[in-house]
Structure 1
Amino acid sequence: MTPAQEAAHGQESYDVRLDWGPTGGAAVSRGADVAVVVDVLSFTTTLGIAVAQGTRVYPFPWKDERAAAFAAEQDAVLAVGRFEAAGLADPPPSLSPAQLLTSAPVDRLVLPSPNGSTICAALADAVPTVVGASLRNRSAVARWLAPRLADGAVVAFVPAGERWPDGSLRPGLEDLWGAGAVLAALDLAGLRVSPEAGHAAASYGTVAGDLAAALDACASGRELAEVGYAADVVAAAAVDADAVVPVFTGDGFVAG
């Protein structure tokens, strides 16, 4: 890729940027001050709930055999997948936001996921500040971002998306709406906003009046409901239920 192509795909002429998944996120985060990762179903939703409960959360790549060793090093509980938790009498925390809302909080949690957590782990060394955003904390994230944007920070939004069975990226509307929800809560006047970021805000505007129904009806929402996790979709649709901003530090995500 030529330098001109890198600049174009990195949206380097904009203060507020947006692109999808690990590759798009790496592109738009070059030179950014803040990366806002959005994985509504479910990593950043679960992350926000955990941090609101006082848990320090460590992102980690999905299905990595080193996860258990890493959790032991951090003196942390290793979260499990939804389906693993469902088969246990006393399950540890999992990626399920509904389950986390009803379980006893832990002090330290390693939370792997195939999309949002993997992206956060990848960006942690590349961007000065990484935060987790969802529909549940969209106003809190916007309030946190506003003074930084006013001071000239460059912010890159990274909707995580999902994966097709072959491993390729499947953009998920829920993550576009999650990013758009934060953007819609910001005063962007006077800022250079990329068309990609502007589109996310406009897309959220089309569903904001009946967000729960839209989340139920989108492909990711239907997928979860069909395998018995409709409660996770309900938890994710609770706009502004959480007032914390998970900010990545050298020692996991904490409340910013």
Structure 2
Amino acid sequence: MAQDAACLVVVDVLSSTTSVTVAVEAGTRVFPYAWRDETASAFARSKAAVPAVGRRAATSTSPWSLSPAALREAPFPPRLVLPSPNGSAIAAAAGDSSVVAGCLRNATAVGQWLTRRGYGTDDRPLAVVAAGERWPDGSLRPALEDLLGAGAIIAELESTGAGPLSPEAAAARACFTHTPDVAGAVAACSSGIELAMSGFADDVVVATELNASAIVPVLTDGAFSHGTGTGS
């Protein structure tokens, strides 16, 4: 996947890439990390960063977690490690491809950024990856919210001339364009319901702020920061 793409757009709406946009908006550099275990703290120390913890593990002295709503309320550190077995794992394993964090909040901004740099063409092929979730046994669980997020970015790309679309990309675009109430669909899907029942309904609200952000987090030297340059 990454080997064939000049750029990889990772979409993990609930909530890895949404949290990345929230943190990068505040000027924080975000280091993705594939494992949510005790090694994350050691990795954070090696990067002079603070580690984000699980939603329920956040405290007043360590308020940074995967929750985008909680991140908005916490003081923003200069550097943050964001462990996630989904979106962050994909970003961390992307190889030599350029990596962008996409979500519903920045779909239009990401699509326009990619188009300006010539991605989504034969010369600079692009992969938009819906990260999905995990079943309790660790196997991949498809996630509607990520399909919608990927579709939103692909719809913007197509509107600005990128293509041709693969069948998978066309299906994701159709899922987004034919969903009249995207926020309602995310809130009512399995992942949205699980978060709400766990007391994190505000995360769904933040994640469905469609095109509220102009930030395009690009992975540079191992960390996401706003991609303002003209290159890859």
Q: Determine if the TM-score, normalized by the shorter chain, exceeds 0.5.
A: yes
1:73 and 1:190 map into 2 onto residues whose CA distance is: 39
Unmatched tracts of structure 2, length 5 or more: 228-232
Structure 1 partner of 2:135:
164
1:1-256 equivalences under 5 Å are 28-85=1-58, 88-123=59-94, 126-147=95-116, 148-149=118-119, 152-186=123-157, 187=159, 189=161, 191-207=163-179, 209-256=180-227
1:210 and 1:221 map into 2 onto residues whose CA distance is: 14
Query: Deviation digits for residues 179-223 of structure 1, max 9, x if unmatched?
Result: 00011112364722100001000000122x311111110000001
2:212 and 2:96 map into 1 onto residues whose CA distance is: 27
1:190 and 1:114 map into 2 onto residues whose CA distance is: 30
1:190 and 1:120 map into 2 onto residues whose CA distance is: 23
1:164 and 1:80 map into 2 onto residues whose CA distance is: 20
User: What letter corresponds to residue 167 of structure 2 in structure 1?
Assistant: P
SS at match of 2:77: coil
- Percent identity, please: 51
- Contact kept? 2:120, 2:126, Cα under 8 Å: no
1:143 CA displacement: 0.8
Larger gyration radius, structure 1 or structure 2: 1
1:108 and 1:138 map into 2 onto residues whose CA distance is: 24
- Contact kept? 2:148, 2:172, Cα under 8 Å: yes
1:91 CA displacement: 3.4
- Cα gap change, 1:130/1:150 in structure 2, threshold over 3 Å: closer, same or farther? closer
Aligned length: 224
User: What letter corresponds to residue 142 of structure 1 in structure 2?
Assistant: G
2:41 and 2:80 map into 1 onto residues whose CA distance is: 11
- Contact kept? 1:32, 1:127, Cα under 8 Å: no
Query: Deviation digits for residues 43-79 of structure 1, max 9, x if unmatched?
Result: 0000011011100000001224321111111110111
User: What letter corresponds to residue 174 of structure 2 in structure 1?
Assistant: A
Query: Deviation digits for residues 6-52 of structure 1, max 9, x if unmatched?
Result: xxxxxxxxxxxxxxxxxxxxxx2222100000000000000011011
1:149 and 1:97 map into 2 onto residues whose CA distance is: 28
1:251 and 1:39 map into 2 onto residues whose CA distance is: 18
1:240 CA displacement: 1.1
SS at match of 1:234: helix
TM-score by length of 1: 0.84
User: What letter corresponds to residue 92 of structure 2 in structure 1?
Assistant: A
User: What letter corresponds to residue 60 of structure 2 in structure 1?
Assistant: A
Unmatched tracts of structure 1, length 5 or more: 1-27
2:36 and 2:162 map into 1 onto residues whose CA distance is: 43
**Range moving further from structure 2, 88-97 or 30-39:** 88-97
User: What letter corresponds to residue 194 of structure 1 in structure 2?
Assistant: S
**Range moving further from structure 2, 184-193 or 137-146:** 184-193
1:145 and 1:190 map into 2 onto residues whose CA distance is: 9
- Contact kept? 2:15, 2:207, Cα under 8 Å: yes
